[in-house]
């Protein structure tokens, strides 16, 4: 995995200015068993008027691009925007909660977890594993990419193991999957069965 130092700076800044946020997508799955070598970071945000200037001041030109007016307009229109580190050639995608209102319940039950790449470590608000999986099932339904079932299985092998220290509610995902399509609920049930079988075999 490449360095997550920039991502750490972004979420620490959001914490410092008390801006509500939640990491989603594959990056949010790092504490739950996803081990891909490269990641983009998607952060769901519920920014207030005072947060635009505060964020911009923490990421000044010329190294960074974090225009406060662009942020404000994007939030008002419900459009994703970026904070860019031009030196590292990396960006963080920030998605206004207004654009994804169905994530409101997931946002309210977000949890604090630690993230690490072996060098950098930080703690941040992220989606619960159930909600990460639901998001990946939705993405799979839209594009059929093989990375989503692979990520889901990695999470399942982690959270269904007896050593996982938090409750995992399979039914939350099952209900959401059933609402998406027959193909999605079949994929979900197959992944759960495969994961449970693998866990049993290695015990």
pLDDT for 2 equals 52
Domain residue spans of the chain? 5-127, 130-202
Stretch among 54-63, 78-87, 94-103, 127-136 having the lowest mean pLDDT? 94-103
For domain 5-127, give the CATH number: 3.30.460
pLDDT at 108: 94
Whole-number pLDDT of residue 155 = 96
Banded model confidence at residue 1, pLDDT cuts 50, 70, 90: very low
pLDDT in tens, 141-172: 998 889 999 999 999 999 998 778 788 999 99
Report H helices in the chain: 5-16, 25-28, 49-58, 68-77, 104-108, 129-143, 147-159, 170-180, 182-202
Average pLDDT over the chain reads: 92
Q: What is the mean pLDDT of residues 14-19?
A: 96
CA 26 to chain centre: 6
pLDDT confidence of residue 62:
94
Residue 96 has pLDDT above 80, yes or no: yes
């Amino acid at each position: 995995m490449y360095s997550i130092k920039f991502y750490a700076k972004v979420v620490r800044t959001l914490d410092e200015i008390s801006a509500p946020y939640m990491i989603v997508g594959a990056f949010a799955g790092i504490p739950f068993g996803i081990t891909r070598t490269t990641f983009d970071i998607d952060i769901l945000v519920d920014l207030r008027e005072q947060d635009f200037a505060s964020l911009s001041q923490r990421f000044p030109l010329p190294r960074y691009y974090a225009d406060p007016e662009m942020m404000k307009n994007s939030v008002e229109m419900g459009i994703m925007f970026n904070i860019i580190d031009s030196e590292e050639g990396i960006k963080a995608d920030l998605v206004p909660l207004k654009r994804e209102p169905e994530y409101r319940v997931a946002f309210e039950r977000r949890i604090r977890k630690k993230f690490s790449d072996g060098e950098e470590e930080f703690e941040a608000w992220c989606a619960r594993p159930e909600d990460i999986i639901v998001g990946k099932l939705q993405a799979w339904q839209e594009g059929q990419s093989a990375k989503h079932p692979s990520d889901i299985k990695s999470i399942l092998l982690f959270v269904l193991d007896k050593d996982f220290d938090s409750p995992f509610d399979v039914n939350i995902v099952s209900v959401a999957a059933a609402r998406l399509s027959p193909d999605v609920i079949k994929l979900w049930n197959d992944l759960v069965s495969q994961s449970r079988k693998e866990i049993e075999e290695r015990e």
